[in-house]
């Protein structure tokens, strides 16, 4: 029996060179989807899109899906009433979706138009929004409002939030997202990983894409879009309606811009159980959005907007040429976000780099492979500390299993090296956004820098799990009583603290001089 298995291993191992070439080709092709990210990162350090003030006050509907949100819904509506935007141009709609508490009652007390929905079979946020748009169409008409905001019940808006978003909308943009800050940033390390993720997205994705007039990604809440996008209703009812909405809008040729001046606050999970549940849902929704819209985005790269009316002839102009390039690149860029690269890479790695290479070593043995290959910084440090530890093993099953061990060991060192490098993003965010985030002790910033890589690690593993799991939408509990007035006082204190620190430094410099 062992001889038979050995013959199979030998046969598989004989194809290692060819299969390894295919593996490297796959990795190279996947790299095409990320080669532009370094440019985005650099551009985002220095630039973001800005919008001119306007006296045109557009009419908006503010939509708030809520399930058992009695703890927070009042503070959100209060922050909307606190806006410096004309109140007669705003109508607040709440959809109390399968609520078992008094969310609807509180929403009405605070002046919102509240509809109640009871359908426990269709439970996603997308279904709640679909029902709400149907009610708005019946009672008001979709065209009664020029644009629609979507917020989660735990959000809070800066006083000038709608004014700033209105400036972007008045410039002609159809979809705009905004600055997502965190009201419970320092509550614990789990909340901090989310907070850093949203700020990283701003710096690495939103700012650059908005400057280049491309399409950034909608992230669940805090965005505005024109009524034309829902003239036929809301159709995004999957586990992650934001990803589906983003992909579909880009496939139809829309820009999705970002407004750095419009800031709102979000509450992040503080329980690892809740975080894992949410991340698995995100991962499943990511895969579904790729399946649903990936092909349309891929076609757009080569043939232009595949939803465009081909019967209408368009004149060839410089503007049309530039728009064609912009639209195709935006389709590629959005597709690049949806392609499940980690799953493809994992499968190729397990098959070729682990199993087939182990079969190859069964035949040839292991000749001088080092335990700490110096192909990254962390491995070089380990090799410096422990020295070169070579493996010389004769052909056979021992070489087969040892090669499997080495493959996983090298991969683990590579992941650790990646996560240490990833900590630099946290340092960058804490420095770049120091005036906007809530005040917290320095030791917490250090702690959160070290725990931050857990966010990406969880995202990787939940993506693997979501491929095989049946995932159902479940609400995320929100309990924070923080109001926009509390945050305002905290941020003002933070700014004053920074100014005092700068003045102290300046005084010290004068004394030294």
CA distance 329 to 315: 21
Determine contact, residues 61/143, Cβ cutoff 8 Å.
no
Q: CB count, 10 Å around CB of 81?
A: 12
Contact 133, 100 (CB under 8 A): no
First-to-last C-alpha distance (Å) of the chain: 84
The Cα–Cα gap between 194 and 203 comes to 14
Q: In sequence order, what DSSP letters do the residues of 258-308 get, joined into one string?
A: EEEEEEEEEPPP--HHHHHHHHHHHHHHHHHHHHHHHHHHHHHHHHS-TTS
pLDDT at 496: 47
Of 436, 445, 442, nearest to 490 by C-alpha is 436
Return the pLDDT at 509: 34
Rg for the chain (alpha carbons), in Å?
Answer: 26
pLDDT at 490: 57
Nearest to 196 by CA among 476, 470, 469, 433: 433
Which of 15, 245, 216 minimizes the C-alpha distance to 124?
245
Q: What is the pLDDT of residue 321?
A: 84
DSSP 312: S
Q: How far is CA 293 from CA 169, 177, 297, 338, 464, in A?
A: 26, 21, 6, 9, 20
Residues of the chain with pLDDT under 50: 492-493, 495-513
Per DSSP, helices labelled H in 47-90 are 73-81
Contact 299, 215 (CB under 8 A): no
pLDDT at residue 312, rounded to an integer: 61
Determine the Cα–Cα distance for residues 344 and 352; give it in Å rounded to an integer.
12
Beta strands in 236-314 (DSSP E): 257-266
State the CB neighbour count (10 A cutoff) for residue 426: 23
Q: What is the pTM of this model?
A: 0.89
- pLDDT at residue 313 in the model: 62
SS (H, E, C) 169-228: HHCCCCEEEEEEEECCCCCCHHHHHHHHHHHHHHHHHHHHHHHCCCECCCCCCCEEEEHH
Q: CA 89 to CA 83: how far, in whole Å?
A: 11
pLDDT by residue (tens digit) across 306-360?
Answer: 666 555 666 678 888 888 899 999 999 999 999 999 999 999 999 999 999 999 9
Tokens of 222: 């805090």
Mention every residue, 6+ apart, whose C-beta is less than 8 A from residue 230.
133, 142, 148
Look up residue 146 and give its DSSP letter.
S
Contact of 254 with 146, CB cutoff 8 Å = no
Q: What gap in Å lies between CA 513 and CA 507, rounded to an integer?
A: 10
Structure tokens at 36: 């532009």
Local structure of residue 108 (DSSP, 8 states): H
The 10s digit of each residue's pLDDT in 443-459 is 999 999 999 999 999 99
Alpha-carbon span 202 to 219, nearest angstrom: 11
What's the CA gap between 347 and 349, in Å, rounded?
Answer: 5
CA distance 105 to 109: 6
pLDDT of residue 504: 41
Q: How many CB atoms lie within 10 A of CB 14?
A: 13
How many Å apart are CA 449 and CA 79, to the nearest integer?
Answer: 31
Q: The tokens of 468 are what?
A: 């095989």
What is the C-alpha to C-alpha distance for residues 33 and 63, in angstroms, rounded to an integer?
A: 34
């Amino acid at each position: 029996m062992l001889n038979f298995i050995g013959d199979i291993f030998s046969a598989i191992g004989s194809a290692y060179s060819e299969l390894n070439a295919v593996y490297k080709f796959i990795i190279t092709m996947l790299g095409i989807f990320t080669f532009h990210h370094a440019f985005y990162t650099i551009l985002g350090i220095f630039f973001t899109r800005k919008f001119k003030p306007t006296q045109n006050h557009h009419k908006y509907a503010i939509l708030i899906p809520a399930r058992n949100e009695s703890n927070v819904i009042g503070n959100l509506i209060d922050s909307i009433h606190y806006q410096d935007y004309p109140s007669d141009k705003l109508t607040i709609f709440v959809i109390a979706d399968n609520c078992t508490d008094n969310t609807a009652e509180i929403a009405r007390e605070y002046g919102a138009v509240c509809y109640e929905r009871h359908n426990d079979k269709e439970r996603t946020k997308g279904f709640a929004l679909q029902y709400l748009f149907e009610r708005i169409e019946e009672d008001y008409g979709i065209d009664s409002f020029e644009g629609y905001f979507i917020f989660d019940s735990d959000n809070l808006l800066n006083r000038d939030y709608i004014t700033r978003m209105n400036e972007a909308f008045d410039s002609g943009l159809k979809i705009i997202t905004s600055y997502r800050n965190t009201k419970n940033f320092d509550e614990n390390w789990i909340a901090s990983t989310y907070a850093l993720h949203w700020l990283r997205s701003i710096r690495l994705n939103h700012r650059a894409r908005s400057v280049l007039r491309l399409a950034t990604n909608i992230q669940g809440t805090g965005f505005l879009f024109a009524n034309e996008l829902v003239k036929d209703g809301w159709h995004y009812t999957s586990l992650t309606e934001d990803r589906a909405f983003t992909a579909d809008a880009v496939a139809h040729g829309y820009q999705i811009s970002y407004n750095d001046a419009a800031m709102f606050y979000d509450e992040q999970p503080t329980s690892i159980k809740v975080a894992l549940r949410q991340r698995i849902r995100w991962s499943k929704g990511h895969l579904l959005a790729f399946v649903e819209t990936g092909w349309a985005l891929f076609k757009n790269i080569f043939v232009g907007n595949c939803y465009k009316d081909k019967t209408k002839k368009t004149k060839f102009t410089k503007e049309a040429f530039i728009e064609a390039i912009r639209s195709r690149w935006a389709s590629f860029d959005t597709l690049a976000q949806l392609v499940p690269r980690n799953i493809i890479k994992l499968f190729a790695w397990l098959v070729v780099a682990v199993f087939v290479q182990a079969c190859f070593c069964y035949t040839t043995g292991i000749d001088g492979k080092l335990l700490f290959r110096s192909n990254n910084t962390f491995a070089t440090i380990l090799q410096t500390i422990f020295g070169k530890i070579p493996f010389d093993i004769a052909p056979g099953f021992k070489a087969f299993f040892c090669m499997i061990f080495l493959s996983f060991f090298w991969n683990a060192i590579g992941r650790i090296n990646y996560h240490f490098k990833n900590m630099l993003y946290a340092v960058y965010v804490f420095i770049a956004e120091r005036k906007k985030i809530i005040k917290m002790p320095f030791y917490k910033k250090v702690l959160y820098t070290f725990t931050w890589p857990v966010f990406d690690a969880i995202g990787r593993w939940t993506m693997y799990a979501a491929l095989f799991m049946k995932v159902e939408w479940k609400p995320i509990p929100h309990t924070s009583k923080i109001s926009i007035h509390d945050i305002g006082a905290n941020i003002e204190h933070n700014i004053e603290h920074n100014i005092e620190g700068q003045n102290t430094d300046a005084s010290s410099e004068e004394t030294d001089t």
